[in-house]
Amino acid sequence: MPRIVGIEVPKEKRIEVALTYLFGVGPATSRRVLSVTQIDPNKRAKDLTDEEVSKLTQTIQATAKVEGDLRREVTANIKRLIDIGSYRGLRHKRGLPVRGQRTRTNARSRKGPRPRVGVRKRTTRPVTGSGPART
């Protein structure tokens, strides 16, 4: 597996697809980087030379924020929203949808599983001889 920007990309995939395994690189960025570096998008990742890998790494680092830098920036932006007390920050803090989606129903992936109320496993009680006789 070739290492591009410190991340192992799948070797059997076309390089155009393999680059999208980097956080912050989508299909459009992948095509743009390959056209700048003049590498065939249909080439498999395992067939890249060391020179091509270094060229890709340099181009990606020069044109886009990827992996750790981008993750840190996103986290810092969310923290800033929370710190200034904006509406979006409050939604992030409470774990609710941020972009105006409804929450009366749905929004389960953001809110997590429903709290289970009144569900208790019943223990079987031994039958005693007291009470009216049943026939």
Q: What is the pLDDT of residues 4-33, one digit of tens each?
A: 888 899 999 999 999 999 999 999 999 999
Question: For 124, which DSSP code?
Answer: P
Round to whole Å and give the CA distance between 117 and 107: 19
* Averaged pLDDT of the chain: 89
**What is the spatial distance between Cα 47 and Cα 41, in angstroms, rounded to a whole number?**
12
| Distance (Å) of CA 64 to CA 28, 46, 49, 57 | 12, 23, 22, 11
Q: Domain 3-64 adopts which CATH fold?
A: Helicase, Ruva Protein; domain 3 (1.10.8)
**Residue boundaries of the structural domains of the chain:** 3-64, 68-106
- pLDDT (tens digit, 9 = 90+) per residue, 54-82? 999 999 999 889 988 999 999 999 999 99
Query: Are 92 and 78 spatial neighbours (Cβ–Cβ below 8 Å)?
Result: yes
CATH architecture of 68-106: Irregular (4.10)
Q: pLDDT value at position 96?
A: 93
